[in-house]
Copies of this chain bind each other. A is one copy, B any other.
Amino acid sequence: MAATLEQNQDRFLSELLDWLRIPSVSADPKFHGDVLRAAEFLKARLEEVGLDNVELCPTAGNPIVYGEKIIDPSLPTVLVYGHYDVQPADPYELWTSPPFEPVIKDGKIYARGACDDKGQVYMHVKALEVMNQEGGLPCNIKVMIEGEEEIGSNNLGIFVRANKEKLAADVILISDTGMLANDVPSIEVGLRGLSYHEVEVTGPNRDLHSGLYGGAVPNPINVLCKMIASLHDENNHITIPAFYDNVAVLSAEERAELNRVPHSDDEFKQSIGLKDIYGEKDYTTVERIGIRPTLDVNGIWGGYTGEGAKTVIASKAFAKISMRLVPNQTSEEITALFQQHFESIAPAGVTVVVKPHHGGEPVVTPTDSVAYKAAADAMETTFGKRPIPTRGGGSIPIVAMFKSELGLDTVLLGFGLDSDAIHSPNEHYGVFNFLKGIETIPHFYRNYAAAMK
């Protein structure tokens, strides 16, 4: 580990914990003030590490934190993207320590946002500090950290379109993904897109007594279950017409290459307590997550959910349903197909409303670019092993947007692990991963600047 990092690691961690104490939950209006506090905190830290023109750029939603260091306009420029907002933390009761009172336990930082994405953003802030102490920056760096990633990045595209000159760069660098294991470094090169909806089914116009009415009215919960059940066939294939039309079909060779990553179905099952492997017929677990689209219900509610028994037929039932998309599906296409299909399968007598929430595009990043090689070389230096290119299942919708709006490719230099429980209770991030990120990132800049000369 570089000397600067070694000498300052306790302070770096302590600063991150301060940031994690701010509950910057973008999905819930009651945390709006905290979201702004988290942005101000980051602005101050970026100023401390010497960036120029640091500002909170206003948007129709939460501000974007921006800063830059142009050391020489003739040198290449890297634009770092990340987000300072976090997922909601409920159910709170399942956390072993409160989500916004970070603790370090068994070498891991436990807090909402520890990995996704405050911990990974903060590696970049501290990598700047380390480079300042150890010879300065080797190229120009711009930093753009948004506050609405967990709710669909609705205002980022508007900001990017309006600020193309300000954001001009040669490549995008993002740390918001994971790697296979601490001793199996990897870099994500494929990401799934997203189409997210809230659906509402209405039967009778008021809650009814199930004894007086049961059997003669459409129960919206039963109907919703039937509609959701019909979205998959017996092979776990999605039944929405035309859903698979644009799915990129990989060659046998490409599939074989993909399945070469270290993966054990037994370990996978054990890690999440499953009795059996599950998914679309004729695909492996790695393929089901990496190259196949999916449909999952993320939440469902309706009727009486309290203690004891209530013999009610609810007037309404609700669900949140999302689809993960793969190349070359688009979020717009799938959103329209879902909405149309879901409304079309409503049985007579009920009313169905589909409200699209937000979407994101699937993307595959190149592995033959200067930037990818700079990242792979950086990881090889600090991990002692060449990283494996992988196709992950998550979505970073803005990667496709950066490509279309700014014409830039992205490198996904992420240091998280699947076991970090992001979006779940007890999210955590390894102290090892946090420090390894700060160590690796300067190598990326040096490799990239050298190769672009």
* A residues adjacent to B (C-beta < 8 A): 26-29, 87-88, 90, 94, 150-152, 178, 192, 194, 196, 203-219, 221-222, 224-226, 228-230, 232, 268, 272-280, 285, 288-289, 292-314, 317-320, 322, 324, 347-351, 357-358, 392-395, 418, 421-426
Contact = CB atoms under 8 A, between A and B. Distances in A.
Given A211-B324, A221-B299, A224-B225, A310 B88 contact: yes
A422 B209 contact: yes
A278 B423 CA distance: 40
B194 A311 contact: yes
B272 A205 contact: yes
Contact of A394 (B26, B178, B211): B211
Given A211-B395, A218-B278, 17 more contacts: A27-B309, A29-B307, A87-B310, A94-B206, A152-B309, A194-B211, A210-B296, A216-B277, A217-B278, A226-B228, A274-B349, A275-B349, A298-B303, A298-B312, A301-B301, A301-B305, A311-B423
Contacts of A314: 298-299
* Stoichiometry (number of copies): 2
B225 A272 contact: no
10 contacts: A88-B308, A204-B273, A207-B421, A207-B423, A212-B392, A215-B292, A217-B278, A219-B296, A300-B317, A311-B322
Contacts of A228: 221-222, 225-226, 229
Contacts of A424: 206-209, 312
Contacts of A310: 27, 87-88, 150, 298-299, 320, 423
A393 B212 contact: yes
Given A309-B358, A348-B275, A212 B394 contact: yes
Q: Which of A150, A393, A395 has the most CB of B within 10 A?
A: A393
Contacts of A192: 211
A291 to B, nearest CB: 10
Contacts of A302: 297, 299-301
B215 A289 contact: yes
Closest 5 CB pairs of A and B: A205-B273, A211-B394, A27-B308, A229-B229, A299-B303
Contacts of A313: 296, 298
Contacts of A194: 211, 311
B275 A351 contact: yes
Contacts of A307: 27-29
Contacts of A205: 272-274
Contact of A299 (B278, B305, B322): B305
Contacts of A311: 194, 196, 298, 322, 395, 423
Contacts of A26: 308
A277 B348 CA distance: 8
A404 B47 CA distance: 83
Nearest to A293: B215
Contacts of A308: 26-28, 88, 151, 357
Contact of A217 (B210, B230, B274, B392): B274
Contacts of A304: 88, 90, 298-299, 320
A243 to B, nearest CB: 13
Contacts of A422: 209, 212
A94 to B, nearest CB: 8
A198 to B, nearest CB: 8
A184 to B, nearest CB: 16
Contacts of A229: 222, 225-226, 228-230
Contact of A309 (B272, B320, B426): B320
A211 B209 CA distance: 40
Given A207-B424, A225-B224, A274-B203, A285 B357 contact: no
A146 to B, nearest CB: 16
A203 B277 CA distance: 11
Contacts of A232: 222, 226
A393 B309 contact: no
